Structure 1
């Protein structure tokens, strides 16, 4: 590396954040995160992880098939409890 080279030159030449202030309307001017249009302060790489670790992951436990399966399981449990109750009375 040259002695007179500016080590921050690459950062100075990087794209800038696209966020604007609501109050002044001026752009953020921080360097944008690689692959994003905004900086780390304005939401790049933020939020929840994708997939099953996301809080609103749709798991399918409310599908019609699972509703019917749970109804069958509940019916079997109900019958088992009735049978157990009838055996105690004898």
Structure 2
């Protein structure tokens, strides 16, 4: 909605919702926490870089 901070249909504002991590009652194993996802992305990036480096050497 233009000029407003809250949607008149959905009512959600920035920062609303359940807490992150262990403070959330549905937390089970942490596999999908922001830190875990960022770690997996970093590992994938390193693997891609290593593969491209090896491809250039051969």
Instruction: Report the TM-score when normalising by structure 1.
Output: 0.34
**Runs of 4+ displaced beyond 3 Å:** none
Determine the structure 2 residue equivalent to 1:87.
57
Gapped regions of structure 2 (runs ≥ 5): 1-26
Deviations 1:5-49 (A, max 9, x none): xxxxxxxxxxxxxxxxxxxxxxxxxxxxxxxxxxxxxxxxxxxxx
**Within the alignment, does 1:71 sit opposite 2:34 as a pair?**
no
Corresponding residue pairs, total: 32
Aligned twin of 1:10: none
Matched residue, 1:28: none
- Specify every segment of 5 or more residues in structure 1 that has no aligned partner in the other structure, as ranges: 1-56
Higher Rg of the two aligned structures: 1
Structure 2 SS opposite 1:77: helix
Question: Within 5 Å, which residues of 2 pair with 1:28-67?
Answer: 58-67=28-37
C-alpha distance in 2 between matches for 1:58 and 1:83: 38
Distance 1:81 1:58 in 2: 34
Q: Hey, which of these two has a bigger chunk of helix by percent?
A: 2
Q: CA–CA distance in 1 between the matches of 2:34 and 2:49?
A: 23
